[in-house]
Amino acid sequence: MTAVYIHIPFCEHICYYCDFNKVFLEGQPVDEYVNLLIREMELATEGKQLETVETIFVGGGTPTTLTEKQIERLCSAVKRIFPLSKNAEFTFESNPGDLSVEKLSVMQASGVNRLSMGVQSFNNELLKKIGRIHTVQDVYQSIRNAEQVGFENLSIDLIFSLPGQSEADFKDTLEKALALDLPHYSAYSLIIEPKTIFYNLMQKGELILPSQDAEANMYDFLMSEMEKNGKKQYEISNFARTGFESRHNLVYWSNEHYYGFGAGAHGYLADRRYSNFGPLKQYMTPLSENKLPIFQVKDLSLKEEMEEEMFLGLRKVAGVNKKRFFEKFDRNLDEVFKDALETTSEKGWLIHDQQNVKLTREGRFLGNNVFREFL
Checking if the pLDDT of 1 tops 80, the result is no
Which helix H or strand E contains 227, and what residues bound it?
helix 212-228
Q: How confident is the model at residue 196 (pLDDT cuts 50, 70, 90)?
A: confident
Q: Are residues 85 and 205 in the same domain?
A: yes
Gap between the Cα atoms of 333 and 309, Å rounded = 10
Could you give the dihedral angle defined by the CA atoms of residues 171, 174, 176 and 177, in that order, rounded to the nearest 10 degrees? 180
The overall pTM is greater than 0.75: yes
**Beta strands per DSSP E along the chain:** 2-8, 10-11, 23-24, 53-60, 84-94, 114-120, 153-160, 184-189, 232-235, 238-240, 258-261, 266-269, 272-276, 294-299, 320-321, 350-352, 356-359
Residue 139 confidence (pLDDT)? 98
Residues 275, 262 contacting (CB under 8 angstroms): no
Residues 19, 61 contacting (CB under 8 angstroms): no
Q: Are residues 248 and 364 in the same domain?
A: no
Q: Are residues 187 and 312 in the same domain?
A: no
* pLDDT, the chain, mean: 95
Q: Which of 212, 227, 253 is the last residue of a domain?
A: 253
The one-character DSSP state at 63 is G
Checking if the pLDDT of 287 tops 80, the result is yes
Q: How confident is the model at residue 205 (pLDDT cuts 50, 70, 90)?
A: confident
In a domain, 271, yes or no: no
Q: What percent of the chain has pLDDT over 90?
A: 87
CB neighbour list of residue 17: distance below 8 Å, 6 or more residues apart: 130, 131, 159, 190, 191, 192, 193, 196, 197, 198
Checking if the pLDDT of 161 tops 90, the result is yes
Q: Are residues 148 and 71 in the same domain?
A: yes
Q: Are residues 191 and 335 in the same domain?
A: no
In a domain, 297, yes or no: no
CATH assignment of the domain containing 151: 3.20.20.70
Gap between the Cα atoms of 208 and 165, Å rounded = 9
* Segment 285-301 mean pLDDT: 97
In a domain, 278, yes or no: no
CATH assignment of the domain containing 347: 1.10.10.920
Q: Are residues 228 and 331 in the same domain?
A: no
What total of structural domains would you count in the chain? 2
* Segment 292-296 mean pLDDT: 98
Q: Which of 227, 253, 279 is the last residue of a domain?
A: 253
The one-character DSSP state at 50 is P
Q: Are residues 218 and 133 in the same domain?
A: yes
Residue 20 confidence (pLDDT)? 80
Checking if the pLDDT of 60 tops 80, the result is yes
Q: Are residues 37 and 186 in the same domain?
A: yes
Gap between the Cα atoms of 145 and 127, Å rounded = 21
Q: What percent of the chain has pLDDT over 70?
A: 100
HSE-up of 202 (CA within 13 Å, CB side)?
15
Residues 312, 323 contacting (CB under 8 angstroms): no
Q: Are residues 78 and 20 in the same domain?
A: yes
> Letter for the amino acid at 114?
R
From first CA to last CA, the distance across the chain in angstroms is 27
- Highest-scoring range by mean pLDDT, 24-33, 188-197, 241-250: 241-250
At 99 the three-state DSSP class reads coil
Q: Are residues 326 and 241 in the same domain?
A: no
Phi, psi (deg, nearest 5) at residue 197: -60, -40
CB neighbour list of residue 111: distance below 8 Å, 6 or more residues apart: 75, 78, 79, 84, 88, 90
In a domain, 205, yes or no: yes
Q: Are residues 53 and 198 in the same domain?
A: yes
In a domain, 283, yes or no: no
Other Cβ atoms within 10 Å of 101 Cβ, number: 12
In a domain, 293, yes or no: no
Gap between the Cα atoms of 8 and 75, Å rounded = 13
Other Cβ atoms within 10 Å of 216 Cβ, number: 15
What is the domain range of residue 42?
2-253
Contacts of residues 210-217 at CB distance under 8 Å and 24 or more positions apart, as own/partner, are 210/161, 210/162, 210/165, 210/166, 210/167, 214/161, 214/166, 214/167, 215/160, 215/161, 215/189, 216/365, 217/167
Q: Are residues 193 and 338 in the same domain?
A: no
